[in-house]
């Protein structure tokens, strides 16, 4: 099964040697923080790109992919006329600060050939931090929770799957955010799945 319920992050990660400098912004010593990342692709082999992104995230120091949601095909929101997205959400356990986690997300985007042409435009891959524990972060580069999360079923539906007990820092639950948007259109679970890192088996675009 690819979708798993959230489990508390273990006290020690597998990459104990990956502890980074900049202690002031690290999670408390000796434990990992958890975060939820939203992934989206609407260019090329979307499913293969999502699989590669999940695998690359796992390979970054200080990041462990803990759970992977189902894959959803979603109607594009905003931007120019463009093709449908595949979206999913992963839960990660991480020793990285939010800022360093963003750097890892952007490194994965670059490794997969993301070119920033137009805001909200078509993209091979987008990796956003949706939640980092129940913390608020607001810097010039980063806002967490993701500011548009409450209005986006394409992120909330997969997030509910792997983070059903989660809430925003203001206490609003994922379920209540989704309920406020009901009825939900344009988010369809597809049969094809992205494997958690290390699990065997081919990924394929769903046949149409």
Question: Of 51, 87, 94, 124, which one interacts with ligand A4P (CB under 6 A)?
Answer: 87
Under rule CB under 6 A, residue 73 binds ligand A4P: no
Query: C-alpha angle 90/96/155, rounded to 5°?
Result: 25
d(CA 13, CA 172): 29
Q: Which is nearer to ligand A4P, 151 or 199 (CB)?
A: 151
In angstroms, give the least distance from the CB of 77 to ligand A4P.
Answer: 4
User: Under the criterion CB under 6 A, does residue 40 sit at the interface with ligand A4P?
Assistant: yes
Residues 40, 125: Cα–Cα separation, whole Å: 6
Which of 32, 66, 126, 161 is in the footprint of Mg ion by CB under 5 A?
126
Which range of residues in 15-23, 127-135, 140-148, 166-174 is near Mg ion by CB under 5 A? 127-135
> Cα separation of 34 and 96, whole Å?
10
Q: How far is Cα 42 from Cα 158, in angstroms, rounded to an integer?
A: 17
Choosing from 68, 112, 144, 156, the residue that interacts with ligand A4P (CB under 6 A) is: 144
């Amino acid at each position: 099964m690819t979708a798993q319920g959230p489990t508390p992050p273990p006290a020690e990660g597998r990459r104990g040697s990956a502890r980074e400098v900049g202690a002031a912004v690290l999670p408390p010593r000796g434990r990992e923080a958890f975060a939820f990342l939203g992934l989206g692709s609407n260019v090329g082999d979307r499913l293969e790109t999502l699989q590669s992104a999940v695998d690359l995230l796992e390979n970054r120091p200080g990041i462990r992919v803990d759970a992977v949601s189902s894959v959803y095909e979603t109607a594009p929101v905003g931007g120019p006329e463009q093709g449908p997205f595949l979206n999913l959400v992963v839960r990660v356990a991480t020793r990285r600060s939010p800022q360093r986690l963003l750097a890892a997300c952007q490194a994965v985007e670059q490794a997969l050939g993301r070119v920033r042409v137009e805001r909200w435009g078509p993209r091979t891959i987008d990796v956003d931090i949706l939640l980092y524990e129940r913390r608020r972060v607001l810097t010039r580069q980063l806002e967490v929770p993701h500011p548009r999360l409450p209005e986006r079923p394409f992120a909330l539906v997969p997030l509910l799957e792997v983070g059903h007990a989660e809430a925003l820092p203001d206490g609003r639950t994922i379920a209540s955010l989704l309920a406020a948007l009901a009825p939900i259109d344009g988010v369809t679970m597809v049969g094809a799945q992205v494997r958690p890192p290390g699990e065997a088996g081919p990924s394929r675009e769903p046949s149409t």
